[in-house]
Chain A
């Protein structure tokens, strides 16, 4: 739909499509269907050759004489080298030996997260809720209160930001800290492996399961939508 709108405004567009069935219906002017898992639009991270092949195939469509055109990227990722879609929390049973001190666990994960930031180009997905990692114990206490069903809020929440959205950003930052910290701890870890570890073995994962339940128990659709984004 976005590509069609831009094309109507006089821009030649080419799109990367992840769901062929949707693209067949929406009919963007030119689209390349890629057989990769969600999150892998250009192929594989840090694989510049594959990314260039995908890009080239998408850009070649700009020279097509007629449209709409929907082409399949010719390289099929084999099942063996295709990463599995991350398992959702509801599909992962918590392990027996989960620590029950999420604040301490978070402090320890922060060291690994600092390694992740220092080891890369300074990139981090952390930073949506606006509270720095060094003060994240306050966020952990807040999320624990939400999980316990208390009427909790934080003075750092911008007045115009609805509470369920703020809870979501706090949960997102907590996950980013653990996900990236885990990649510093275990550089080969993939998305499914990290999801299994987080939801199955960490105290943070168990708090976020309860946060999800609290949000989902609300009658307000905005709270329910936030629940679906925290854990499902």
Chain B
């Protein structure tokens, strides 16, 4: 834990006490072709959404859709935990939602394309059942319908 030792005690305790799922293996969907031919979406747990959308409430396991063309000024974060520094995302949305960087990769031909919609959940959850059984698979289905092969999962 290279960084936990530099956190205020109260934040460190909060993290260490967070019960996390323990798995022995991982599912695997290989990329069907090189990334230069694939469409990629951002799926973030940073609690981002469009300004007009309802903010995330505590423990909420639903998601918000962020159309790719949404201007940065229209994206806000309702995950406002004191467990992380909010200054970097106030300065630059790309710190958790690297939409400009993905567009640059696509323009350079290193990425096949940026997905038409990105998806956002809110992190730091204790009960994840609904995301696991309902809202997560729903986002997976939507991504496939939108011709997306890969997702970058980002935290706040």
A residues contacting B by CB (< 8 A) are 1-22, 25-29, 35-46, 48, 51-52, 55, 58-59, 62-63, 66-68, 82-88, 90-91, 121-125, 127-128, 161-162, 165, 168-169, 172, 175-176, 179-180, 183, 189-192, 194, 222, 225-226, 228-229, 231-232
Pairwise interchain contact A88-B8, C-beta atoms closer than 8 A: yes
Closest CB-CB distance, B127 to chain A, in whole Å? 11
Given known contacts A4-B26, A127-B76, is B153 in contact with A13 (CB within 8 Å)? yes
Pairwise interchain contact A27-B90, C-beta atoms closer than 8 A: no
Closest CB-CB distance, A79 to chain B, in whole Å? 8
Given known contacts A2-B43, A232-B82, is B155 in contact with A16 (CB within 8 Å)? yes
Pairwise interchain contact A16-B154, C-beta atoms closer than 8 A: yes
Kindly list chain A residues whose C-beta atoms are within 8 Å of the C-beta of B55: 128, 169
Nearest B residue to A31 via CB reads B153
Closest CB-CB distance, B98 to chain A, in whole Å? 5
B residues contacting A by CB (< 8 A) are 1-4, 6-8, 10-11, 15, 18, 20-31, 34-35, 38, 40, 43, 45, 51, 55, 57-58, 71-73, 75-78, 80-96, 98, 100-102, 104-105, 111, 121, 128, 131-132, 136-137, 139-141, 143-144, 148-156
Name the residue among B30, B38, B45, B139 with the largest chain A CB count within 10 angstroms: B30
Pairwise interchain contact B26-A12, C-beta atoms closer than 8 A: no
Kindly list chain A residues whose C-beta atoms are within 8 Å of the C-beta of B3: 18, 35-37
Closest CB-CB distance, A27 to chain B, in whole Å? 4
Nearest B residue to A180 via CB reads B90
Pairwise interchain contact B88-A45, C-beta atoms closer than 8 A: yes
Given known contacts A6-B140, A9-B141, A183-B87, is B82 in contact with A88 (CB within 8 Å)? yes
Pairwise interchain contact B154-A29, C-beta atoms closer than 8 A: no
In angstroms, Cα B57 to Cα A162, docked, is: 9
Given known contacts A125-B77, A225-B58, is B156 in contact with A41 (CB within 8 Å)? yes
Pairwise interchain contact A5-B132, C-beta atoms closer than 8 A: yes
Pairwise interchain contact A6-B151, C-beta atoms closer than 8 A: yes
In angstroms, Cα B23 to Cα A28, docked, is: 9
Pairwise interchain contact B155-A6, C-beta atoms closer than 8 A: no
Closest CB-CB distance, B114 to chain A, in whole Å? 12
Pairwise interchain contact A58-B156, C-beta atoms closer than 8 A: no
Closest CB-CB distance, A211 to chain B, in whole Å? 14
Pairwise interchain contact A8-B140, C-beta atoms closer than 8 A: yes
Given known contacts A11-B149, A45-B91, A67-B26, is B58 in contact with A222 (CB within 8 Å)? yes
Pairwise interchain contact A22-B20, C-beta atoms closer than 8 A: yes
Pairwise interchain contact B143-A11, C-beta atoms closer than 8 A: yes
Which of these, B11, B26, B77, B137, contacts A88 with CB under 8 Å? B11
Kindly list chain A residues whose C-beta atoms are within 8 Å of the C-beta of B132: 1, 5
